[in-house]
C-alpha cells in the first residue's frame, strides 16, 4: 500500500511502491502539502519499496509545484534503486539540488 503522510507542515513521509499504478493518487495530496508548508518542505523516502520512472515523474511534479509557490523542497533517504533511473534519464544534476545526503 502506497501512502503519503504529513508528519508536520514541513515534513512528509512517503512509503510503499512508487509505480505508474500508484503515483497518480499521490500527486494532488503532495501538491497540497507543499502549498501549506510555509516555505520549506522535506520528503522522507525511507519507507519506499519499489520504484519506477513514475517516481521520478512524481518528484518532478512536486519540484515544479514547490518552485511555483516559492517553497524550498528537499528529499531525504532516497532509495538507492531510484538513482540509476535518475542517471539514465540525465536528471542527476537537477535532482542534486534537492537530494539531502544522509549523515
What pLDDT does 97 receive?
85
- The span from the CA of 73 to the CA of 62, in Å, is 8
- C-alpha cell of residue 27: 500527486
Query: What CA–CA distance (Å, rounded) separates 70 from 20?
Result: 27
- Residue 100's pLDDT is 85
**pLDDT profile of the chain (103 residues), mean per 10:** 96 97 97 97 97 97 98 96 94 90 58
CATH tag, 3-96: 3.30.750.24
* Contact yes or no for 12/5 (Cβ under 8 A): yes
* pLDDT score at 102: 62
pTM above 0.85?
Answer: yes
Q: What are phi and psi of 101, to 5 degrees?
A: -70, 135
Q: Rounded to an integer, what distance in angstroms lies between the CA atom of residue 21 and that of residue 40? A: 28
- Contact at 8 Å (CB) between 29 and 3? no
Amino acid at each position: 500500500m502506497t501512502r503519503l503522510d504529513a508528519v508536520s507542515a514541513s515534513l512528509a513521509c512517503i512509503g510503499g511502491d512508487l509505480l505508474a499504478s500508484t503515483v497518480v493518487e499521490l500527486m494532488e495530496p503532495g501538491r497540497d502539502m507543499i502549498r501549506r508548508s510555509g516555505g520549506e518542505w522535506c520528503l522522507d523516502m525511507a519507507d519506499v519499496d519499489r520504484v519506477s520512472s513514475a517516481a521520478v515523474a512524481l518528484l518532478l511534479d512536486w519540484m515544479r509545484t514547490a518552485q511555483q509557490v516559492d517553497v524550498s523542497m528537499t528529499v531525504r533517504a532516497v532509495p538507492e534503486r531510484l538513482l540509476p533511473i535518475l542517471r539514465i534519464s540525465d536528471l542527476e544534476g537537477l535532482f542534486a539540488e534537492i537530494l539531502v545526503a544522509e549523515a
